[in-house]
Amino acid sequence: MSDWVVLEPMHWTTLVSAEELIAALGQPGLAIIDARATLADPLQGDRDYAASHIPGAVHANLERDLSDHSRKGHGRHPLPSADTFCRWLELWGITPEHQVVVYDARDGSMAAARAWFMLRLLGHRHVAVLDGGYARWRDLHLPVSNTPATPNASTYEADYDAARLVEADGLRELTRPGAPLLLDARAPERFRGEVEPIDHVAGHVPGAINHPNAGNLRADGRFLPAAELAAAWRAVIGTREPAQVVAMCGSGVTACHNLLAMEHAGLAGARLYADSWSGWISNPARAVERG
Mean pLDDT, all residues of the chain: 95
Structural domain contains residue 287? no
What CATH number corresponds to the domain at position 203?
Answer: 3.40.250.10
When pLDDT is averaged across residues 55-84 and rounded to a whole number, the result is 98
Structural domain contains residue 291? no
Comparison of pLDDT for 7 and 190, the residue scoring more = 190
**Do 256 and 173 have their domain in common?**
yes
In sequence order, what are the beta bridge partners of 210?
A: 184
**Do 82 and 193 have their domain in common?**
no
Helices 255-264 and 226-237 pack at an angle, to 10 degrees, of 110
CA–CA distance, 273 with 284 (Å, rounded to integer): 18
**Do 107 and 202 have their domain in common?**
no
Comparison of pLDDT for 278 and 173, the residue scoring more = 278
When pLDDT is averaged across residues 77-102 and rounded to a whole number, the result is 98
CA angle 122-109-271, nearest 5°?
A: 45
Structural domain contains residue 144? no
> Which residue, of 139, 171, 199, is where some domain finishes?
139
When pLDDT is averaged across residues 98-110 and rounded to a whole number, the result is 98
What sign results for the dihedral spanned by CA atoms 102, 78, 274, 188?
A: positive
**Do 36 and 132 have their domain in common?**
yes
Structural domain contains residue 226? yes
**Do 270 and 189 have their domain in common?**
yes
Structural domain contains residue 184? yes
Query: What is the DSSP code (8-state) at residue 29?
Result: T
Structural domain contains residue 155? no
Structural domain contains residue 251? yes
When pLDDT is averaged across residues 139-161 and rounded to a whole number, the result is 97
For the segment 243-277, what is each residue's pLDDT rounded down to a tens digit? 999 999 999 999 999 999 999 999 999 999 999 99
Percent of the chain having pLDDT more than 90?
93
**Do 275 and 183 have their domain in common?**
yes
**Do 77 and 32 have their domain in common?**
yes
- Sequence-separated contacts (24+) of 1-6 with Cβ below 8 Å: 1/25, 1/26, 1/143
Structural domain contains residue 172? yes
Q: What is the pLDDT of residue 174?
A: 83
**Do 24 and 135 have their domain in common?**
yes
Residue 72: pLDDT band with limits 50, 70, 90: very high
Q: How many domains does the chain have?
A: 2
Domain of residue 241, residue span: 162-280
Q: Which residues are identified as catalytic? A: 249
**Do 91 and 127 have their domain in common?**
yes
**Do 124 and 228 have their domain in common?**
no
Q: What is the pLDDT of residue 8?
A: 55
